[in-house]
Structure 1
């Protein structure tokens, strides 16, 4: 797992597995956001599978799926709402971490 810290309260990563959740918790994260639609790539774990593992570990989870290259204003608003509601620090993942990073930048811009 390749975690990239974007701010004190937000880090991103490429796709995670159920087995990665323990390491995410051990790293001090309190919440996980999945920005990846289900079935984007064959064999990827579903958001539901990751959610179950995250919640079993005592962390919070949100699913804000964003189609690669097609981020919308609604996606940005949904991510902003998730970030406002979730305890931090927050760990977000998608296929490469880029969508999560771009969403964070768009949320920061939205909030001025």
Structure 2
């Protein structure tokens, strides 16, 4: 995982930039229990892995996986509420990702789950 820039907020939550299916086993080995994908499919073009493929790899690695696509330029109040509920209800530690990690971090801060 040293090649993945993981930013830990605390013992229960971290963010990362775009992840791929092959990263899921390494996340599980690093101790993460859940993954939230905040990046809409297709946002990064055809090179971006599909959520369904990441989910399949996450579940194979024993991780909980949730797909919550959020438009980073127009985060809505319901996006924040849903994200906060996911972070609180999923087994931790939880790792959320998007294109750069910023959107997931902003959702976490806005949800007041610091």
Q: Which segments of 5 or more consecutive residues in structure 2 lack a partner in the other structure? A: none
**Which one has the bigger helix percentage?**
1
* Alignment equivalent of 1:13, drawn from 13, 16, 19: 16
Give the Cα separation in 2 of the matches to 1:30 and 1:3: 15
Residue in structure 2 matched with residue 62 of structure 1 by the alignment: 66
Structure 2 CA distance for aligned equivalents of residues 85 and 8 of structure 1: 15
Could you list the structure 1 runs, at least 4 aligned residues long, displaced by more than 3 angstroms after superposition.
none
Q: Please say if 1:88 is aligned against 2:92.
A: yes
What is the distance in 2 between the residues matched to 1:83 and 1:5?
14
Give the one of 27, 49, 56 matched to 1:52: 56
Which sections of structure 1, spanning at least 5 residues, go unmatched? none
- Report the RMSD for the aligned CA atoms in angstroms: 1.3
Task: Give the paired residue count.
Answer: 110
Normalized against structure 1, the TM-score is what? 0.93
* Per-residue CA distance 1:22-80 (angstroms, 9 max, x = gap): 11011100000001001001110111111111011111011111112111101001101
Q: Counterpart in 2 of 1:97?
A: 101
Aligned to 1:71: 75
State how far apart, in whole Å, the 2-side matches of 1:50 and 1:34 are: 9
